[in-house]
Structure 1
C-alpha cells in the first residue's frame, strides 16, 4: 500500500521555524505516530535501513525574520506525510483532526483537517505496488519523455575515492537508481530486472531548469536542487518506457535521493505538452 496525505495545520501560539526545518518535521512526525502507535514509532525511528515513510517541510505563507519563518496565527499550513508499506499507510489513513499541539521547535500547530484524496489536494493519493505495475505494463505505447518537478531540495549521496559527498543534479542513474532501491526495499519485489533495464537502455536528461538551495540538516548543511527535469529514453523500448513511468509515479509517494524523511526529495511527475 502507498498513501500520501496532507495535514492542514494551524498555529496555536507565537513561534518561529528555521527556514529549513526537516529535522524538526521528522521529530514531529515520530511524535505524532507515537501518540497512537508506540511500536510503529519506535520501529520507524530505530531501523535506519527501513524508513517506509516521507515527511515534507511545512508549506504555506510565512512571515520572515532573519533566517526564521514566522507562522501567521489565522493561516492554514500544509504538511505532507506518505507511507510506503501497509502498517505505515494504515496509520496515516486513520489520522483525524486533533487539537493536541504538534511541536516544530518553538512553533506549535494543531491538525485542522486531514486530506487523503486528489480531489482535496493534488499531493494526496493512494495506490499499491501491484496497481502501479499493472497501470504501466498495460500501456502499449508509453511516452519516451517524462517530466518531473523537484518540489523540495533534492540531493544524492555519493562516494568517490573514499570520500562521501552530495550531488544536487538528478542524473538518471542516481535518480532512477534511488527509486529502484526504494521499490525493492518496501515492496519486497525482486528488482534485478529493473536494474538491468536501466543499465542497458540509456536514459538522458533532455531539458532541465534547476536552482540549488542550501538546506540545514541538524548540525550539518547540504545543497539540493529544486525545479523541473525532463528525462528521455533514447532507444525505442516499450519496456524501459513503462519502467521509467512506473518509477516516477512511485516517486510521488517514495520521494527520491537522500534524507527523504527530513523534507528532501519530494517529487511529482508532470505531463509534457507535445509541440
Structure 2
C-alpha cells in the first residue's frame, strides 16, 4: 500500500545547512532502514531510478543561495513515501516506535511526531493500489477526463541523456506508469503511454523554473507550479488508468530524482477533497 509519512523535526541547535537537503536526508533514511532491516536497505541501495521510496527536502522554505538557516524556534517537515508492501512495514514500525532523534546535515533533530494521517498533514496518507484503481475507474465513468497536477519541488525528466524540464503528458504519465508498474502488484497496460501521448494535451498551466543543485554542484533545472491536462478522446478504461496515476503521483513523485526530494507532486483537481479523505487510512498515527 503506498504510504506517505510526515516527520516533524526540530533542530537542536542553530546551524547553516545546504539548501538542498534531500540527498543527505535520503542517506539518513537509508541508515534508519539499515538499522532495522539490513537486507532491505541493501536492495534499496542497489535499485535503479525506480526506487520504491522517496524522501523530501526537509526545509520548508530553503534559502535561494547554497545554504539555509535552521534554528530550534522553527520545526521542519520531512516527508517519506513508501510504495511497496515490503517498505510499508517500515511505516508501521516507525509509527509504533518513532526514533527520538535523527542526525543528518551536521544537525541533531528531535523527532516530535510522525504521522500518516491526511487529517493531520495534507502531505500524509495511505491508500491501497486496488482502492486507487477502483476509485479512478468510478471517476472515469462520469465523463471526459481533466487532471490538474501541482509540482511542489522541481520536476524534470531524463530524455536521450539530457534533462528535459517540460511536463508534457507523455513524460508525466509515462514516468508515473513506469513507477506504478515497478511497485504495484497489478501492472497497468502499456497502452496508457500511447493514450497519454496521443490523446492528452495541456490545457492551461502556471509554471516557473525550479533549480536543484546536484551533488557535483551542477544545477538541475525543473519546473514548479501547476498544469492541467485534458483528454481529447475519452476512453473510460484508459482515462481511469490516467486518473489512478494522477492520484498515485502523491506518493511516487514524478520524473527524475524523486528518491532525493525532486518531483514531489499531487493532483489538485475538483475531486481532490474526496481523494484526500480516501488517503486517510490510519485511524491514529
Cα shift readout 1:222-273 (whole Å, capped 9, x = no counterpart): 1111100000111133223222211110111111100100110110101249
Cα shift readout 1:211-230 (whole Å, capped 9, x = no counterpart): 11221121133111110000
Q: CA separation in 1, counterparts of 2:64 and 2:226?
A: 29
Which residue matches 1:94? Answer: 93
1:1-275 alignment runs, 5 A limit: 1-48=1-48, 50-61=50-61, 67-95=66-94, 96-103=97-104, 105-139=105-139, 140-159=141-160, 164-195=161-192, 198=195, 201-219=198-216, 220-272=218-270
Q: CA separation in 2, counterparts of 1:183 and 1:61?
A: 30
> CA 1:131–1:21 in structure 2 vs 1: closer, same or farther (change >3 Å)?
same
Q: Equivalent residue of 2:206, what SS?
A: strand
Q: Give the paired residue count.
A: 267
* Richer in strand (by share): 1
Instruction: State the TM-score, normalizing by the size of structure 2.
Output: 0.87
Residues 5 and 125, structure 2, Cα contact 8 Å, conserved in 1: yes
Residues 144 and 234, structure 2, Cα contact 8 Å, conserved in 1: no
Cα shift readout 1:115-153 (whole Å, capped 9, x = no counterpart): 111111111111111111111123321552111100111
Q: Equivalent residue of 2:186, what SS?
A: coil
Greater than 4 Å deviation, 4+ residue runs: none
Q: Equivalent residue of 1:176, what SS?
A: helix
Residues 169 and 196, structure 2, Cα contact 8 Å, conserved in 1: no
Residues 213 and 225, structure 1, Cα contact 8 Å, conserved in 2: yes
Q: CA separation in 2, counterparts of 1:100 and 1:199?
A: 44
Residues 142 and 241, structure 1, Cα contact 8 Å, conserved in 2: no
Residues 2 and 128, structure 1, Cα contact 8 Å, conserved in 2: yes
Q: CA separation in 1, counterparts of 2:242 and 2:102?
A: 41
Q: Equivalent residue of 1:261, what SS?
A: helix
Q: For the aligned residues, what is the CA RMSD?
A: 2.1
* Richer in helix (by share): 2
Instruction: Report deviation, 1:98.
Output: 2.2
Residues 19 and 59, structure 2, Cα contact 8 Å, conserved in 1: no
> More deviation in 73-82 or 26-35?
26-35
Cα shift readout 1:139-185 (whole Å, capped 9, x = no counterpart): 321552111100111100000xxxx1111111000000001111111
Instruction: Report deviation, 1:109.
Output: 1.2
Unaligned runs of 5+ in 2: 272-285
Which residue matches 2:280? Answer: none
Cα shift readout 1:91-128 (whole Å, capped 9, x = no counterpart): 0222143223321x223312110111111111111111
Unaligned runs of 5+ in 1: none
Cα shift readout 1:27-58 (whole Å, capped 9, x = no counterpart): 12112222222222221112225511111111
